Amino acid sequence: MKNKKIFVFFPDGVGLRNFAFTQFKAIGEQRGHQIVYWNNTVFSLKEELGFDEVKIENHKTHPLTSIYSRVRKHIELNVSQKKFKDEVYATYKFPFNYNGLKNTLKTLYIKLLIGIYSSEKGILYIRKRINALERSTTKYQYCKAQLLEHKPDVVFCTTQRATQSISALLAAQDLGIPTVAFVYSWDNVPKAMQVVETDYYCVWSDLMKEEVLKYYPFIKESQIFVTGTPQFEPHYDTTLLQTKEEFFTEHGLDINKKYICYSGDDETTSPLDQYYLEDLAHAVRNLNSKGYSLGIIYRKCPVDTTNRYETVINSNQDIIQVIDPIWKPIGTNWNEVFPDKADLKMLYNVCAHTELVTNVCSSTVFDFVAHNKPCIYYNYEQPQLKKGIRDIGQNYKYVHFRSMPSPEAAVFCTDKKILERLVQQIIDGELSNVAEGKKWYEIVAGNNPTQGSETIWTAIENCLKK
């Protein structure tokens, strides 16, 4: 199985962390493969990392693809809601836009198509329609020409959820080149985020395999490989570990304090997130007045460009230390902010040198569990909540949270009045979710968190044999 040319396809930047910054490439090369990054992003893997890459310069999807993709998502959620008799699927939908005549007409057209095609047969029709639209684009012909020139043996797509990948993968399939898609995130399958159709799929766990088969009956079990994910592998790379003294000195932390990580959320998930940080600051201040010596490391969501935390941070500079994730803006759009490899080391040491993490429903619970550190999830309304602002409570009703083996898999703070007590109990060693959190981690990410890259390569090789 040696000397195969593998196109590792980045339709967008979300796969960089998993497939460019980990040992994924090195493992593939050790197994004798030639790895070429097929790069649809503005991030240059050649310039930044010295990797062999083929750049896709034509980024134009069909003008109707975004409309039909919105229709597909709504129909899939409608079908799931009816099929499984569950109202949760309605909460995955984004509101329609009626601002201005153009947006109103687009919305009416989308709603008309949803009304006509809201069935499992309708889903297949809309998917075929999207494929036909993308095959008609110059990007399809452009990608086809690149494939004919470079002749890869397989195309491995690093995420299943990008419309930018459709034409490229169709071009590969039409040339008889096997295609494999990695299902990117733990919450993606129930949320109707399966944009592409490939020959094979790599998923994190048996749970995710069951979900793919449940929501996408046109996918056969033989097409799915349970591989784990490279996402958490850096947490087991002890070469990334700094001493506490090194880390604290580098980031201006007080060596006499114990720190709590506040992991920020994006504005959609947690629109009032700054007030949870403020609540934590009050809890820490109260505990410090009782003899504790605590501080907060605020690590923002990498794609959050708002200034909504500034007032809270400026008012609590004696408690809150900001350590931003190491991400770089390469373009002008929110999705052109890309991670830097150095952020893997940063996150490792934030996990290693803090006592716990607090946030709203983030998968950072697993990052910290990998370091045997607890997690507090905020699950109460803020008084600033008003009509038009999303309540964070609906996050915990989502399907992916039903994978929790027990309510103790995270420490839920259901009232700001008990936050101080929960923090105190964790600091004192009286409360932890780590044991149950590890069970949850295994359910979601599989039982070999250090072997994701290796197992994905085995899956790719098995695809080549078929």
Range with the largest mean pLDDT of 40-49, 93-102, 377-386, 418-427: 418-427
**Boundary residue ending a domain (81, 106, 129):** 129
User: For the chain, how many helices (H) and strands (E)?
Assistant: 17, 15
Number of separate domains in the chain: 3
What are 161's two structure tokens? 């959820």
Band the pLDDT of 330: cuts 50, 70, 90.
confident
**Three-class SS of residue 357?**
strand
Q: What's the CA gap between 204 and 227, in Å, rounded? A: 6
What's the confidence (pLDDT) of residue 12?
92
What's the confidence (pLDDT) of residue 335?
61
pLDDT tops 90 at residue 336: no
Contacts 24+ apart (CB under 8 A), 281-287: 281/312, 281/315, 281/316, 281/319, 281/320, 282/420, 283/419, 283/420, 283/423, 284/260, 284/319, 284/423, 285/316, 285/319, 286/420, 287/420, 287/423, 287/424, 287/427
pLDDT tops 70 at residue 448: yes
299 with 360, same domain: the answer is: yes
pLDDT tops 60 at residue 334: no
State percent of the chain over pLDDT 70.
98
What are 325's two structure tokens? 């994730």
What's the confidence (pLDDT) of residue 395?
94
Average pLDDT for 351-370: 97
93 with 108, same domain: the answer is: yes
257 with 200, same domain: the answer is: no
305 vs 115: which has the higher pLDDT: 115
77 with 221, same domain: the answer is: no
**Three-class SS of residue 404?**
coil
Residue 19 belongs to domain with CATH number: 3.40.50.2000
What is the chain's length? 466
30 with 84, same domain: the answer is: no
Q: What's the CA gap between 397 and 195, in Å, rounded? A: 23
What's the confidence (pLDDT) of residue 337?
77
**310-323, pLDDT tens digit by residue?**
999 999 999 999 99
**207-253, pLDDT tens digit by residue?**
999 999 999 999 999 999 999 999 999 999 999 999 999 999 999 99
**189-193, 204-208, 324-328, 451-455: the lowest-pLDDT one:** 324-328
The DSSP 8-state label assigned to residue 251 in this structure reads: T
What's the confidence (pLDDT) of residue 402?
97
Q: What's the CA gap between 71 and 78, in Å, rounded? A: 10
266 with 396, same domain: the answer is: yes
Average pLDDT for 423-443: 98
Write the CB contacts of 366 (distance below 8 Å, at least 6 apart in sequence): 232, 437, 440, 441, 444, 445
29 with 72, same domain: the answer is: no
198 with 119, same domain: the answer is: no
Predicted TM-score (pTM) of this structure: 0.95
**264-296, pLDDT tens digit by residue?**
999 989 999 999 999 999 999 999 999 999 999
Query: Domain range for residue 370?
Result: 234-445
46 with 76, same domain: the answer is: no
Angle between helix 120-135 and helix 166-174 axes, rounded to 10 deg: 80
309 with 435, same domain: the answer is: yes
195 with 110, same domain: the answer is: no
Band the pLDDT of 389: cuts 50, 70, 90.
confident
91 with 183, same domain: the answer is: no
